[in-house]
């Protein structure tokens, strides 16, 4: 049942209950479980943006909806820190992401979509942060 929704990873997202309701999940039981999960686990305040999960995140939306690139998740891209270079205080370029994670060339637009969806406030705070550990 969980395979087409990212397996157990669906419970690692950072969704509020409103966004959980918008997920296109056919199983009413699974949707109810996820809504209950979001009530118990969603936090409004974020202190470490680098450790923030990318996929199924209320704060990272495309067309007003949280999203997930399953093939990127399978390659190990899960958190902001996986696509952010703390030494240079910038997001990795698409070519760097491609080299690090073997992302296909055809995902060029997906990369730009993702970077555009990351809140400006997060980008600013990541640049200002001195110690990310």
Helix residue ranges per DSSP H, the chain: 17-22, 28-41, 70-74, 94-101, 108-117, 120-128
The tokens for 42 are: 């969603």
Token pair in block for residue 118: 């990351």
Question: Can you tell me the mean pLDDT for 47-59?
Answer: 91
For the chain, state the CA radius of gyration: 15
Highest mean pLDDT among 29-33, 37-41, 66-70: 66-70
Between 35 and 100, the more confident residue is 100
CA dihedral 111, 112, 117, 119 (to 10 degrees): 100
Distance CA(8)–CA(17), nearest Å, equals 18
Asked whether residue 4 carries a pLDDT value surpassing 70, the answer given is no
Q: State the pLDDT at residue 23.
A: 77
Residue 5 pLDDT > 80 = no
User: Whats the size of the chain, residue-wise?
Assistant: 133
pLDDT of residue 133: 47
């Amino acid at each position: 049942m969980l395979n087409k929704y990212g397996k157990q990873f669906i419970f690692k997202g950072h969704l509020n209950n409103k966004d959980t309701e918008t997920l296109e999940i056919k199983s009413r039981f699974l949707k109810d479980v996820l809504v209950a999960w979001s009530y118990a686990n969603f936090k409004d305040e974020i202190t470490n943006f680098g450790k923030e999960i990318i996929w199924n995140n209320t704060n990272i939306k495309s067309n007003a909806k949280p999203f997930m690139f399953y093939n990127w998740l399978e390659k190990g891209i899960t958190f902001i820190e996986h696509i952010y270079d703390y030494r240079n205080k910038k997001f990795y370029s698409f070519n760097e992401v491609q080299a690090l994670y073997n992302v296909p060339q055809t995902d060029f637009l997906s990369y730009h979509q993702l970077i555009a969806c990351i809140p400006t406030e997060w980008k600013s705070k990541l640049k200002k942060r001195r110690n990310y550990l």
